[in-house]
């Protein structure tokens, strides 16, 4: 047994009286007075996880029908339906229900239908045709729910309920809850689709760029099929500088990773001084027919944490000049703010919590490092009542921290991760820190500014 494991066990025993106190007196258990309490919340009050029927966290990907549409980011070519024309109803307890209609037709027979809800100000429950089908207490980032088998032919009623009273509000005490959300879309990828990807970059002794690419494929089929999975890497002028494809035989309801490796001569490195970006195009084909395309920005850079406690970008020590920043409602306003900070000499942005994917893309393009932040802010807690020292909350800490990680892991601008804000110290943070440190191939620092020189932090 390692010293860290022994210390974690000792900490749990040492803080047992505080855990009991927190469970009974100090963690707020809100009285629910809404007309329909989500079933998952009722279960969580008895110790169950804070989400159900939600898809695993992943990188934000938009599926397109053609290569040209994917490269141009054309809205017409997206396999996406934007939900709008909401009927808004206020519920007791500060919750709000947003309801709209969606028509399912024959074109969706070959597709999955996934609801993505972004930027909610509270917990989110989803209803289809008046039946609750999913819930998450962490609505601030991106929450995805598979509606494929829940929808009937022709018209369907889809409702999103945003709650402001829920038990895990203790993890968000530092910000106000709001019964709103940023947007909701229906993704309609094919039955075998790109679910996620991991693009790890490095350099060899000849200063060639090395790309280790893993494309995660998800099959929703009950039978086996042959698919071609491929990629193209394009430079800033649109020239293909690397490409490859492989055959994949899917299995029933399988999830497989297809791996690629490439050496890129004369690669242009990404840094805040020179934010050089490439475009990574991922695609699938079945029987030589294109099925899906998606494109994402990619930057060649390395991030290391030295024994002296320094963050190294491409081997050079990074001198941080940080400033706060977040999404300001639209891309143009946010870009203007970020460029202003860049012109003032700031090279690093620390955010209060997870941001929309467009925020990180802007930082990629402008040349700003990002210290990403999990949606955990326990402002007002103290050593005796902090959720971070209550083992009952361990799953929620892990869920929110891993959501932060997977949502932005592929952006070159993200160079470190912050586990929480003002959450004191405790077993939940410590276990989450160890979980992050165990991620294969991950070298970026995991930090917790309020660690007070104890644990939970590399810095």
Q: Can you spell out the DSSP letters for 417-455?
A: EE--BS----HHHHHHHHHHHTSTT--S-EE-TT-TTSS
Q: In what order do the strands lie in the sheet with 303-305?
A: 303-305, 311-313, 316-317
Contact 233, 211 (CB under 8 A): yes
Contact 400, 375 (CB under 8 A): yes
DSSP state of 57: P
Residues of the chain with pLDDT under 50: 1-49
- Convert the pLDDT of each residue in 262-303 to its tens digit: 999 999 999 999 999 999 999 999 999 999 999 999 999 999
- Convert the pLDDT of each residue in 299-351 to its tens digit: 999 999 887 878 999 999 989 999 999 999 999 999 999 999 999 999 999 99
Contact 221, 191 (CB under 8 A): yes
Torsion, Cα of 369, 373, 378, 379 (10° steps): 20
pLDDT at 300: 98
Contact 159, 126 (CB under 8 A): yes
* Structural domains of the chain ordered from first start: 3-24+302-447 (3.20.20.80), 54-62+80-187 (2.60.120.260), 194-298 (2.60.40.10)
In angstroms, the CA 262 to CA 357 distance is: 26
- Output Rg (C-alpha) for the chain, integer angstroms: 23
Report the alpha-carbon angle 387-173-125, nearest 5: 90
Q: From 338, 415, 335, 417, select the one nearest 374 (Cα to Cα).
A: 417
Contact 78, 307 (CB under 8 A): no
CA 67 to chain centre: 25
Sign of CA pseudo-dihedral 126, 132, 133, 139: positive
Contact 326, 351 (CB under 8 A): yes
- What does the block give as tokens for 31? 């009285």
pLDDT at 5: 42
Q: Give 184: exposed, middle or buried? Use CB within 10 Å, 0-12, 13-18, 19+.
A: buried
């Amino acid at each position: 047994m390692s010293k860290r494991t022994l210390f974690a066990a000792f900490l749990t025993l040492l803080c047992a009286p505080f855990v009991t106190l927190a469970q009974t007196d100090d963690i707020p258990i809100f009285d629910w007075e809404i007309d329909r309490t989500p079933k998952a919340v009722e279960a969580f009050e008895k110790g169950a996880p804070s989400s159900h029927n939600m898809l695993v966290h992943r990188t934000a990907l938009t599926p397109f029908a053609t290569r040209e549409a994917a490269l141009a980011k054309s809205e017409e070519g997206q396999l996406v339906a934007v939900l709008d024309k909401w009927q808004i109803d206020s519920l007791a307890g500060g919750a709000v229900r947003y309801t709209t209609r969606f028509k399912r037709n024959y074109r969706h027979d070959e597709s999955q239908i996934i609801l993505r809800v972004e930027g909610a100000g509270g917990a989110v429950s989803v209803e289809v045709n008046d039946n609750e089908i999913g819930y998450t207490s962490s609505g601030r980032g991106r929450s995805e729910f598979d509606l494929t088998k829940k929808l009937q032919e022709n018209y369907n009623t889809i409702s999103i309920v945003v709650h402001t009273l829920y038990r895990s509000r203790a993890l968000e005490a530092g910000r106000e809850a709001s019964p709103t959300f940023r947007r909701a879309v229906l993704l309609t990828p094919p039955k075998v689709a790109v679910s996620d990807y991991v693009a790890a970059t490095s350099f060899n002794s000849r200063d060639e760029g090395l790309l280790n690419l893993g494309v995660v494929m998800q099959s929703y089929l009950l039978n086996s099929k042959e698919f071609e999975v491929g990629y193209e890497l394009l430079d800033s002028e649109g020239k293909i500088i690397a490409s490859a494809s492989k055959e994949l035989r899917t299995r029933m309801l399988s999830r497989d990773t297809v791996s690629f490796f490439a050496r890129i001569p004369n690669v242009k490195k990404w840094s805040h001084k020179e934010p050089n970006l490439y475009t990574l195009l991922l695609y699938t084909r079945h029987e030589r027919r294109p099925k899906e395309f998606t494109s994402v920005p990619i930057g060649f850079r390395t991030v290391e944490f030295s024994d002296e406690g320094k963050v190294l970008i491409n081997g050079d020590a990074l001198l941080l000049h940080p400033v706060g920043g977040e999404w300001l409602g639209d891309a143009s306003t946010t870009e203007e703010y970020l460029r202003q900070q860049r012109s003032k000499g700031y090279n690093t942005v620390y955010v209060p919590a997870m941001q929309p994917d467009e925020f990180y893309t802007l930082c990629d393009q402008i040349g700003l490092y990002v210290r990403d932040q999990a949606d955990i802010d326990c402002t007002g807690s103290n050593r005796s009542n902090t959720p971070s020292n209550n083992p009952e909350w361990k799953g929620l800490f892990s869920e929110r921290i891993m959501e932060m990680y997977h949502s932005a892991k592929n952006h070159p601008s993200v160079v470190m991760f912050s586990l929480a804000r003002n959450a004191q110290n405790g077993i939940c943070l410590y276990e989450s820190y160890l979980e992050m440190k165990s991620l294969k191939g991950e070298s970026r620092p995991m930090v917790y500014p309020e660690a007070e020189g104890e644990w939970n932090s590399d810095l």
